[in-house]
Each structure stands twice: as C-alpha cells, then as structure tokens.
Amino acid sequence: MKNKRREYEKNTLSSSDLPDNPLSLFSKWLNEVEEINNLESTSMVLSTVDANSNPTSRTVLLKDFNEGGFIFYTNYNSPKAEHLEKNPHAALLFYWPNEERQIRVRGTVSRISKTTSEKYFHTRPRLSQLAVWISKQSQKITNRKQLEDELATITTKYENQEVPLPDYWGGYSLFPDSYEFWQGRRGRLHDRFHYTLNKTIWSVERLAP
C-alpha cells in the first residue's frame, strides 16, 4: 500500500474561479461530473454523531439541492435518523476521483415536509416503494428469505393500487454553514478553499494542502 500513489494533474482552482455563493461552484462541479458519470455523481458520505459522541459515516444519495439545503431520504427509524434527532449537526463528503475533486459540507439537518417526501416517493420505481415497507433499516434479520417473503406479502397487499408513503420514511435537508473545495494538484500541493457563512454572507479563504 505504501507504494501506491498517483499524481493529480487534471485541473486547478484559484481564487479567481470562486463565486460569491459556494452553491454555484458546487453546482458547476456536479454538472461536470454528471457529464462523465451520471450514476455515481450524487453519491455522498453522510457523517453523524450518536448520543455518546461516536461518529458514523455511510454513503447516501443526494436527491435535490437548492438554497435551502442538500436533500436526501431515509427511514426515520434508522440509526442515522436517531443521531440527527439528538444532534442535528452533520457533514457531507463528495469525492469524484476521475475529476480529482472533493467537496466537504457541514451544516444543520432538519426534516423536509411530508408533501415533498411523498412527491419524491412516488417517483421511485415501484419495487423501491414496496421495499420501504419491509426494510426495517439496520435491524437484524434471519436471512434473505425473510426479506423475499415479506416483499411477496406487501406486493400482494398493494396489487393494482398506489403504494402509500409510510409515516416512518421521508427526507432531510442539510442547510450548510461551511464548504471546503479541494482540487488535487501535482506533488500534493492541492488547492483548497474554505467558505464560512456569517449570517447571510459567505467568506472564503485558501487553506494549506
């Protein structure tokens, strides 16, 4: 492992490239990734902290973003949801190796409206909607057959009708107060810029690599 390394040479990031609002740069970078790889471009690592201050990270999918925040969906009974109910501060990490770029986002998380969650829920493939009803996320199960049997049962129950949104499933929005943009550079002299929100104004500074 110690001999595995690569040089980062594709792009640069300078202060002249930085917009006043970091969301604009996030959108620009995301669009550039989607032009190359639209399947994994919205994968992001979500980090939360439990009641004992133990951090946990997992990969989730970004489903929307705007001035109000970064939106993702989950089971409200899941460990990540339990963490967020007790401590709404969280972090996101986007890493796009082909573009040699990384974005770190920190902020406060809150639930979105049930109406918005329901609207998104019905855009999901039907199998994904049914799966929400049988997935007691992160709880122990006996075997794979248990899932398949429960899926068969719920499929029959909602045959020829719309699958309703469970009360325990929906979206969260992370409202950012900090961004860090990282552009890989040759010799590990990377470009790093950190945005910090002060009320409604973003300030930005360059960080050492």
The answer on 101 and 20 residing in a single domain is: yes
Answer yes or no: 124 catalytic: no
55 & 130 share domain = no
Q: 199 and 111, same structural domain?
A: yes
How many angstroms separate the CA atoms of 70 and 112, rounded? 11
Query: pLDDT digits over 62-83, tens only?
Result: 999 999 999 999 999 999 999 9
Pair 24, 68 in one domain = yes
Q: Which candidate, 8, 26, 6, places its Cα nearest to that of 184?
A: 8
Q: Are residues 65 and 106 in the same domain?
A: yes
* Residue 7 within any structural domain of the chain: no
Distance, CA of 206 to CA of 204 (rounded, Å): 7
Residue 48 lies in a domain: yes
Same domain, 106 and 56: yes
Same domain, 176 and 133: no
Residue 127 belongs to some domain of the structure? yes
pLDDT tier for residue 168 given thresholds of 50, 70 and 90 = very high
User: Is the pTM for the entire model greater than 0.95?
Assistant: no
Q: Are residues 46 and 138 in the same domain?
A: no
CB crowding 19-41: b at 16 or more within 10 Å, else e: eeebbebbeebbeebeeeeeeeb
Helix (H) or strand (E) holding 94: strand 89-96
User: Over the chain, what is the mean pLDDT?
Assistant: 95
Question: How many domains would you assign to the chain?
Answer: 2
CA distance 208 to 182: 11
* Per-residue pLDDT tens digits for 84-138: 999 999 999 999 999 999 999 999 999 999 999 999 999 999 999 999 999 887 7
Within 13 Å of residue 70, how many CA atoms lie on the same side as its CB? 29
Q: Residue 99 maps to which CATH number?
A: 2.30.110.10
User: Annotated catalytic residue: which of 126, 186, 188, 206?
Assistant: 188
Residues 150, 111 within the same domain: no
Does residue 89 form part of some domain? yes
Let me know whether 159 and 190 are in one domain.
Answer: no
Place of tokens 């917009």: 19
3 assigned to some structural domain: no
Tell whether 73 and 104 lie within a shared domain.
yes
Q: Is 69 helix (H, G, I), strand (E, B) or coil?
A: strand
Please, what is the Cα angle at 60 between 10 and 5, to 5 degrees? 35
| Residue 43 belongs to some domain of the structure | yes
Specify the pLDDT at position 39.
Answer: 73
My answer on whether 109 and 159 are in the same domain is: no
Residue 135: which domain range? Answer: 123-164
Distance CA 121, CA 170 (A): 8
Confidence label for 142 from pLDDT (cuts 50, 70 and 90): confident
Domain for residue 1, yes or no? no
Q: pLDDT category, 38, cuts 50, 70, 90?
A: confident
Residue 6 lies in a domain: no
